[in-house]
Structure 1
Amino acid sequence: MIKVLNIIRRSSLIGVLGGVLLAAASLSSAAEEYRLSALTFTGNHSFSYRALSEQMITRVPSPWKRLLLGKSAEYSELLLQQDVKTLTAFYQREGFIDVLINRELAFNDRDQTVAVNLVIQEGKPVSLGRIEHHFAHDSSSRPYLDKVFREERGKLAVSRGQRFRDEAIQQDKTALTAALSNNGYLYAQVAVKPSLRESDYIADLLFEINQGPLCRFGPISVTGNHRTDSSLIVKQVAFKPNDRYSQEVVQRSQRFIYQLGLFQYVTIKVSTNESHHHVLPVELIVKEAPRLTTKLGVGYGREERLRFSGDLRFLNALGGGRSLTLTAKHSKLEPYNILLKLIQPAFLHPGAFLSLSPFSRSEKEPGFSIKRYGADFSYQQRFSYYTDGSVSYIYERDRLSVSEMTIAEALKNQDIKLYNKSSVTFGWVNDHSYPLFQPQRGWYHAATFTLTGVGLQSDFHFLRWIFESRKYTKLMEGYVFAVRAKIGSMKPLYEDKVTPLEERFYSGGSNSVRGWGRSMLGPVSSVNKPLGGNSQAEASAELRYPLYKMLHGVVFYDIGNVWSDYLTFPRSELRHAGGAGLRFQTPIGPIRMDLAWPLGEGKRSMQVHVSIGQAF
């Protein structure tokens, strides 16, 4: 029987030879005129069809591609032979060292097709036995190393009795190396020596760890900065000279410096040498962004119609790394929106921002129009790479335009058209989704809590909270299943009887329950104008799949509604919608068109939504 380590090495050689066989496969395609009608596996007890087919070049196109694009796969004997070798190597890396894979081919001469069945005899898998970790002798650092190892041990993937998996072993090797590197041992090396007990199908693992010398950060220098003071950049660094070296701290410091918003790129160079010197000088290399930048944008959405935006940004305004940004927008829903934002980065702590944002904007919604002007004073703190928190104080003066009927039905005959609002909002976001514009994996959670009627004189007093979660799951290459849930509620406080129209919840539209028009799901007036509500619940599910090159499709299901009262979410009043859409991928997100129908609502018209970006 072959030693486990030799199997892994031999598998890698098979992968190299695969490239040569791929080239040869194209030469034989002319003689192989059969097309692949089916690909199946039998005997694959440990791995699914999907897991095995993803290892292969030979594949049967998805039903969507066969139906819509007429795609089919040519049968290649050479490629199939290579796939058998690749699958054999895959099984061996997963601990099945005696695996045998045979082919069963069923030719249909009339249709010129062939069905392929791969018969797999997995055999007995190799299990893990003793797992030992040996450090190089160093009595002075051994107590600290033992502490590091104890903290990391619970995170390791391999354990006694598990099936031998090369990927898990390499994962633990990488994790141990990273743990040592993050605790001062930059030059740590980890070697894994497997030993196979052939008769028992058991492999013992020995992790030999040479931690090397304990390293510390040396002096810090800055290069590439011409307008930005070096002391501001150094303040963002999460370490000091003589601190233990940590790669994780280096990466965190790089993020802090980049978050200043002053640089096109940031590099932290830690000087090492062949003699493994334990004091590591650090050089912060930056390239400053242009001091003045302008951005112009134009877009289209079925709800907003044509929209225009302009952005003027001035870096290092007033010194101290501050930035000043003037933003202007125009669309059907926002005839004008002007915002001036002054940001003070690294306020009290790296990763913290203080901002002052005076604004003036006009909004036109189906149920009302409003003009607002005021200021937003905010503090934002980044707690980790994925988590942000914020607290904001907003004071604004609003002028509401609304029909007399809406005043009677929504505001209980209170003639409230010119008023002040003074609010404090707490926000929290935890975003593990990626990639940025078109998430395929991970989750997103957000919560906001607003209390209005504090601070300066406010004509409205209310409490509002909102929670939202999203989950993205990549099913296979190009296929993503996305779900979203959102719930919120609000109520007037003190002697107030109503909440302001512009702060209420509204459902329906391209980013809501798509079977209804914008804001048209929920309470409406006697002339069918949306009144909004004080409680909202929504959920959506989407399957996103590839069609042709940059064109993707989606099928979706939405559910939700809005209710007038606080903490009111009757399940019997939830409304349902379903539909399908197209997405054309661009670097800044997809161009989106959705067709949606209300479900169980009798004869209601189809809704068409055109916009940019995913619905969620």
Structure 2
Amino acid sequence: MGRGFGRCAVAIVIAGWAGMASGTEVRLTVSGAGQGLEGDLRAASLVVSTAEDEKANPQDLLSAARADYARLVGVLYGAGYYSPVVHIIVDGAEAAVIPPYGAPARIDTIALSVTTGPRFAFSRARLAPLAPGTELPEAFAAGKTAESGVIVDAVTAGIDGWRAQGHAKAAPAGQSLVADHATNTLDADIRLAPGPRLTFGRLTLSGTTRMREERVRAIAGLPSGETFSPDALERSATRLRRSGVFRSVTLNEAATPGPDGTLDIEAALVDDKKRRLGVGAELSSLEGLRLSTFWLHRNLMRGGERLRIDAEAGGIGGESGGTDYRLGANITRPATFGPDTSLSVFGNLEELDEPEYFEHKFEFGFGLSRQISDDLTVGAGVTYRYSEVEDALGDRSFNHITFPLFATRDKRDDRLNASNGTYVHLAATPFVGIDNSTSGAQIVADTRVYRGFGADDRTVLAARVQLGSVVGASTGEVPPDILFFSGGGGTVRGQPYQSLGVDLPSGDTIGGRGFLGLSTELRVGVTESIGVVGFADAGYVGPDSWPGGSGDWHTGAGLGLRYDTGIGPIRFDIAAPVSGSTGDGVQFYIGIGQAF
């Protein structure tokens, strides 16, 4: 497809195919050392994109041709070619000499001819003054290819270095860029003006928000009076977004600092919808249908409070116990005891008709959660819970005050469909018995690891380890929902739901004080939206607080399909038991989101 002239030539027909409304043929010819640039030049060409528009007329094509000189030269400068020759010929005439509004009635051919010339190197690459600790791009150095983008990156790094030291208005102060065509070199000498060191001033509001100004400032936590920091500014924006109240958050620096060396920040805010309704569903061949819904009210009292009411029914039409019901309400208030600490007050009513027990439960309490960093959250709370239980050990009631503690570190690249990263959740819930109920503690851990392989991480290996323990109380001294069972979609797929527990001499089964769950998946993308999964799960439950030799194991394995909706995959898994005595049939699971 190429023809030789100069040092090298590549000719590509970009347009001119049958059916184009304009009937115009566009050709791009690249010669010189940069023959590999044709893709970038084609992408930058306005002529190419205009010719593809069926509604384009000759005047549109001529305007695009005249604009393409600068666009193509910009691509060449970006690759280090500072002596290019660009011709754009419209039916035999140079586009630059055709009057801007003198387009012919018809254009048959537009030929773009680019001769790159030699590639230039830096003879000098100087940027000063620099803030302490500033690291410039390695490519910005004498002898390296003088790409214009490298110069831009170096200036950006220099300005960012000064801004990190509190010089918010650092800017270029002058430049000398001299191309020596005799030696094919570029002399780059750029000066920066750091400007004064500034401190944060006031946070002002604009946009459309119902939230009270003092609450916006409390949530943002802008450190007024402290030295300006881009990281601190971004943290304030993140806090406002994390509140869940706003659809749009932008923090803008004032154009001019105050005479006292302060820099005001404007918060441009747009509220999200006040109310939201959501639904969910999961289906398992044995556990039946689980339906859930929630209603959310944002900015309830104009202080960023969020009220959420949840309702759920599970086990509908299933063969693993009866139908479970749950109704809960939660009010969350951000920026309580500091901008990174949220307060939650909640209450739950539950009726659990599980294979091995029946329980009515009521909970009420409050908790605090603190965002330590972008990926680390810790929390603590106090909860009162009352439950009435019917199981193999008889009819009982329990009164407890619990003190839940947790820490979560989430470093996944995508929380809905991870291909790389880790997730660790640790929780300990000490409970104090009231009215002859026994005290103790429940400890749980959930660790997940994801590793992607191949182009675009189309293949993902995922692994999960779950650990549970109850200490300080025997199995008969705690509510059964604090104990552990294994089997079903959340633990061992292919085994019936909660089928593995601790067997009593009577032949009945109760939960265990020790639990260990292991899961692994190999996820392979077949197309952009369809993937296949192979998985294997194992679960252990024992009567002792920690996994040992006195408990039992069971395992399951299967295959699945995933359909990526853009907001999370739809999951369909088929699994069968591999070992253990708790299951003997195939199970299937349908839900939204990965299994873990």
- Please give the TM-score of this superposition, normalised by the length of structure 1: 0.66
2-side partners of 1:467 and 1:365: how far apart?
23
Matched-pair identity in %: 19
- What's 1:591 paired with? 570
Question: Structure 1 counterpart of 2:560, which letter?
Answer: G
1-side partners of 2:220 and 2:357: how far apart?
49
Which residue, 541, 546, 567 being the options, matches 1:567?
546
2-side partners of 1:168 and 1:372: how far apart?
64
Deviations 1:377-414 (A, max 9, x none): 11111111111111121211111122xxx22xxxxxxx
Matches of residues 490-569 of structure 1 in structure 2 within 5 Å? 490-493=469-472, 498-524=477-503, 530-569=509-548
Q: Does 1:606 align with 2:586?
A: yes
> 1:444, CA displacement in angstroms?
0.9
Q: Does 1:328 align with 2:311?
A: yes
2-side partners of 1:295 and 1:453: how far apart?
37
- Root-mean-square deviation (CA), in Å? 4.8
2-side partners of 1:220 and 1:10: how far apart?
52
Task: Specify the structure having the higher radius of gyration (Cα).
Answer: 2
- What's 1:358 paired with? 347
Contact 2:361 2:387 in 1 (8 A): yes
Which residue, 14, 28, 40 being the options, matches 1:15?
40
SS of 1:224's equivalent in the other structure is: strand
1-side partners of 2:551 and 2:158: how far apart?
54
- What's 1:390 paired with? 379
Question: Structure 2 counterpart of 1:181, which letter?
Answer: R
1-side partners of 2:589 and 2:522: how far apart?
17
CA shift in 2, pair 1:557/1:171, >3 Å = farther
Between stretches 370-379 and 461-470, larger displacement belongs to: 461-470
CA shift in 2, pair 1:522/1:544, >3 Å = same
1-side partners of 2:418 and 2:344: how far apart?
29
1-side partners of 2:547 and 2:151: how far apart?
52
Q: Does 1:434 align with 2:423?
A: no
> 1:428, CA displacement in angstroms?
0.4
Contact 2:542 2:550 in 1 (8 A): no
- What's 2:232 paired with? 249
Question: Structure 2 counterpart of 1:615, which letter?
Answer: A
2-side partners of 1:159 and 1:422: how far apart?
63
Question: Structure 2 counterpart of 1:382, which letter?
Answer: Q
Q: Does 1:378 align with 2:360?
A: no
CA shift in 2, pair 1:420/1:159, >3 Å = farther
- What's 1:265 paired with? 248
Deviations 1:266-325 (A, max 9, x none): 221223379xx975432112122344x241425231155333334333344455433333
> 1:565, CA displacement in angstroms?
0.9
Q: Does 1:367 align with 2:392?
A: no
Unaligned runs of 5+ in 2: 1-31, 50-75, 81-123, 177-187, 316-321
Which residue, 215, 223, 228 being the options, matches 1:232?
215
More helix by share: 1
Which residue, 286, 294, 297 being the options, matches 2:279?
297
1-side partners of 2:564 and 2:39: how far apart?
36
CA shift in 2, pair 1:335/1:538, >3 Å = closer
2-side partners of 1:192 and 1:570: how far apart?
74
2-side partners of 1:271 and 1:605: how far apart?
67
> 1:584, CA displacement in angstroms?
1.9
> 1:423, CA displacement in angstroms?
1.1
Between stretches 415-424 and 566-575, larger displacement belongs to: 566-575
Contact 2:246 2:272 in 1 (8 A): yes
Q: Does 1:287 align with 2:265?
A: no
Contact 1:592 1:614 in 2 (8 A): yes
Contact 2:167 2:228 in 1 (8 A): yes
2-side partners of 1:590 and 1:396: how far apart?
36
1-side partners of 2:476 and 2:170: how far apart?
67
CA shift in 2, pair 1:236/1:18, >3 Å = closer
CA shift in 2, pair 1:158/1:336, >3 Å = farther
1-side partners of 2:361 and 2:165: how far apart?
53
> 1:420, CA displacement in angstroms?
1.3
Contact 1:561 1:575 in 2 (8 A): yes
- What's 2:164 paired with? 182
- What's 2:465 paired with? 486
2-side partners of 1:16 and 1:477: how far apart?
25
Deviations 1:175-221 (A, max 9, x none): 6654433332335469999xxxxxxxxxxx99986645434434431
Contact 1:389 1:427 in 2 (8 A): yes
Question: Structure 1 counterpart of 2:296, which letter?
Answer: R
Between stretches 422-431 and 260-269, larger displacement belongs to: 260-269
Q: Does 1:580 align with 2:559?
A: yes
Contact 2:371 2:378 in 1 (8 A): yes
Contact 1:157 1:169 in 2 (8 A): no
2-side partners of 1:463 and 1:336: how far apart?
26
Contact 2:412 2:421 in 1 (8 A): yes
2-side partners of 1:377 and 1:351: how far apart?
17
Contact 1:561 1:574 in 2 (8 A): yes
Which residue, 454, 459, 468 being the options, matches 2:437?
459
2-side partners of 1:283 and 1:243: how far apart?
17
> 1:508, CA displacement in angstroms?
1.6
CA shift in 2, pair 1:336/1:521, >3 Å = closer
Deviations 1:227-264 (A, max 9, x none): 32111111233334454332222211112123333322
Question: Structure 2 counterpart of 1:336, which letter?
Answer: Y
CA shift in 2, pair 1:281/1:18, >3 Å = closer
1-side partners of 2:370 and 2:207: how far apart?
27
Q: Does 1:471 align with 2:462?
A: no
1-side partners of 2:480 and 2:379: how far apart?
25
CA shift in 2, pair 1:527/1:432, >3 Å = same
- What's 1:344 paired with? 333
Question: Structure 2 counterpart of 1:388, which letter?
Answer: T
Contact 1:133 1:209 in 2 (8 A): no
2-side partners of 1:366 and 1:495: how far apart?
21
2-side partners of 1:393 and 1:482: how far apart?
38
CA shift in 2, pair 1:432/1:281, >3 Å = same
1-side partners of 2:512 and 2:146: how far apart?
55
Question: Structure 1 counterpart of 2:591, which letter?
Answer: S
2-side partners of 1:586 and 1:438: how far apart?
11
> 1:574, CA displacement in angstroms?
4.8
Contact 2:489 2:589 in 1 (8 A): yes
Deviations 1:437-474 (A, max 9, x none): 212222111100111116x5561322221222212222
Question: Structure 2 counterpart of 1:472, which letter?
Answer: Y
Deviations 1:548-598 (A, max 9, x none): 453221112223322221222459965443321111222442221212233
CA shift in 2, pair 1:180/1:12, >3 Å = farther
Between stretches 509-518 and 320-329, larger displacement belongs to: 320-329
Contact 2:469 2:514 in 1 (8 A): yes
- Please give the TM-score of this superposition, normalised by the length of structure 2: 0.68
Contact 2:540 2:551 in 1 (8 A): no
> 1:156, CA displacement in angstroms?
8.9
Matches of residues 41-56 of structure 1 in structure 2 within 5 Å? none
2-side partners of 1:271 and 1:12: how far apart?
41
